Amino acid sequence: MSTAAPLRAAPSARWQRELADAIRDPAELCAAVGLDPREVGTSGAAGDSFPLLVPRPFVARMRRGDPHDPLLLQVLPRAAEERDVAGYTADPLGESAALAAPGLVRKYAGRALVLVTGGCAVNCRYCFRREFPYATSGATRRGIDEGLAAIAADPSLSEVILSGGDPLLADDGFLGGIVTRLDAMPHVRRLRIHTRLPVVLPSRVDAGLVAALGASRLARVVVLHANHPAELDDAVAAAVRRLAALPAIVLNQAVLLAGVNDSAAVLAALSQRLVELGVVPYYLHVLDHVRGAAHFEVAEQRALALHRELRESLPGYAVPRLVREVPGEPAKVWLA
């Protein structure tokens, strides 16, 4: 999300330069993929409240001249976002109420989630945190200090999740400092990182990041976010190999999105590509009802039917669990 806390150094690494060069203007994105903005129903108003942001390496994977390209649909602000739909709200998961300390979200037993930054390398139109109040939630260096102090004081926490925004948007020194502090807490045993950067900007997984994450005693789990097999090109495959060599368990979570991946063939191709890359398809989320994203909704009966088709066509290890997050529940709800 674009309300980024200022955690980045001046662009010096390749990924930082690529991020600085990301596309931020709908007309420029349309031109880059050979489309007329009127043809794709893009909207300035939707982009005002949640701006377009997409790195060029991700744009390069879009099909030119296709207004229905599944990667384009995930990032282009469209007029449909301006519709007010009953049941779609600013904070669909009630996360503001789950803030246990500045920058620290507590939802599930034994785990705490650190909001490392409000920034992302891409603004996904369906994001459940698209209106999250990062500025007042403590996703700042000082807030994170307080959040880490709260983790240190709570021996019931065995796993820390770095999230955001996208935690890998923070620079290597800052990330390395967080890992060093967690390493020194004997009760913390696992470090989980939720990130879309290795998919949308794979150059982020460079030697500096490997050094920042690699020296830790903590068991590492990296949860990627890819929704369509066309997102997973050779550069992403190389980034995944570097993450796996940390070592880390690498998982993927996807969101079921109308017009993007709501077909059994696309979901099966996504799972098969992930497995080829050494990534376990972990979760397939049904859409969180965030304001502005109703046009991505896939009815639950349809989601269940798609999941049944996946089970009938793939080995069990390649079938992600179909889940919904319900505020206040002690765990994700397994739909299938």
Contacts with ligand SF4, residue ranges (CB under 6 A):
1, 120, 122-124, 127, 129, 164-166, 196, 225
Tokens 């930082």, residue located: 16
Minimum CB–partner distance for residue 156 and ligand SF4 (Å) = 27
CB of 194 to ligand SF4, least distance (A): 8
Residue 80 Cβ vs ligand SF4, minimum distance, rounded to whole Å? 17
Q: For ligand SF4, which is the closer residue by CB, 91 or 166?
A: 166
Nearest to 201 by CA among 41, 2, 19, 69: 19
Residues 6 or more apart whose Cβ sits within 8 Å of residue 316:
none
188 or 230: whose CB is closer to ligand SF4?
230
Give the C-alpha separation, 240 to 243, whole Å.
5
Q: In angstroms, what is the minimal distance from the CB of 6 to ligand SF4? A: 17
Toward ligand SF4, which CB reaches closer, 196 or 220?
A: 196
Least CB distance to ligand SF4 at residue 165 (A): 6
Query: Which tokens in the block code for residue 36?
Result: 């007329």
Q: Which residues are 219's β-sheet partners?
A: 190
As a three-state string, the secondary structure of 18-68 is HHHCCECCHHHHHHHCCCCHHHHCECHHHHHHCCCCECHHHHCCCCCCCCC
| CB of 112 closer than 8 Å to CB of 161 | yes
Contact between 119 and 1 (Cβ < 8 Å): yes
Of the pair 311, 332, the CB lying nearest ligand SF4 is at 332
Q: Cα separation of 114 and 7, whole Å?
A: 14
* Closer residue to ligand SF4, CB minimum distance, 147 or 164: 164
Radius of gyration of the chain (CA): 19
Using the minimum distance from each CB to ligand SF4, give the nearer residue, 61 or 129: 129
Q: Which residue has the tokens 């991505």?
A: 296
Q: How far is the CB of 53 from ligand SF4 (least distance, A)?
A: 8
Question: Is 29 or 314 the residue whose CB approaches ligand SF4 more closely?
Answer: 29
C-beta of 312: minimal distance to ligand SF4 in Å? 29
Distance CA 213, CA 191 (A): 10
